[in-house]
Structure 1
């Protein structure tokens, strides 16, 4: 039977089991997960947090990670500034990035979620407001959420992937993982 691991990746951790190419050791998945034969289904940037799925089943890995399957991925995003309806509408329709237009996304302003503290904390600026949005994508380009929010005038301050398909981070603390029956 295939294994599926839900991991709450902390900020600063690489989405791989080894760190190649730097003299300074960076945190990797191997610092948190000691299970042979499981591999990440997709990636999450080092400076992003949240849900990373790992599996030992190649077909399941492809179904989760491959944009052709359009598996929705929901992000909770703290952005700089007060997001207005016009910016949300642009995110919903499509944003043109350097590598082309994005697919339409689900975007809404949300109250500040009850999340764990980030280490290191997001820089607070008294003169610059911030707010939270929920953004659901059905594609996965490199740093896409950050590039989309910047394109509508609201740079990302904190990015937490909360859900992939039906799997969520509910009940999984940062740096911890849970195995799911599939």
Structure 2
């Protein structure tokens, strides 16, 4: 912590212009440092760093964020819980979920390869998310199904599952419902 505080103090001091560098006008080193985005909302200290590579997460295009900036401990009413079930499907699949958070950050999460059967995968989507896209890919990466929900998300939680019922002229396939 001492190294981080020293580094922050040096960064703050380097931001002071030469005109401000007189002894009576120079603020204390701690006051010259603006809070960084890594600090929690209470200012009590830095949040845990996010590793660059997490299981179930995939790199995303430039300008996008591949980790959650939102508070994961937020009440469940501010989140949508996406559940994917692969029971009855003919093969293993991977689910890709992309959405834009209210602050403009783009998130992309990819499930592990889910074999057919009772395996399932769940992820949380922040409540202020917009423009949700869900894709189901087979083991080779080929796109099997995709859905897009532009703008504000419907209320409830989305579920994606393998359906054997005839829906809209389709006999078999993945279906998404909001409950």
| TM-score band, normalised by shorter chain | under 0.3
Task: Provide TM-score, normalisation by structure 2.
Answer: 0.22
Task: Provide TM-score, normalisation by structure 1.
Answer: 0.22
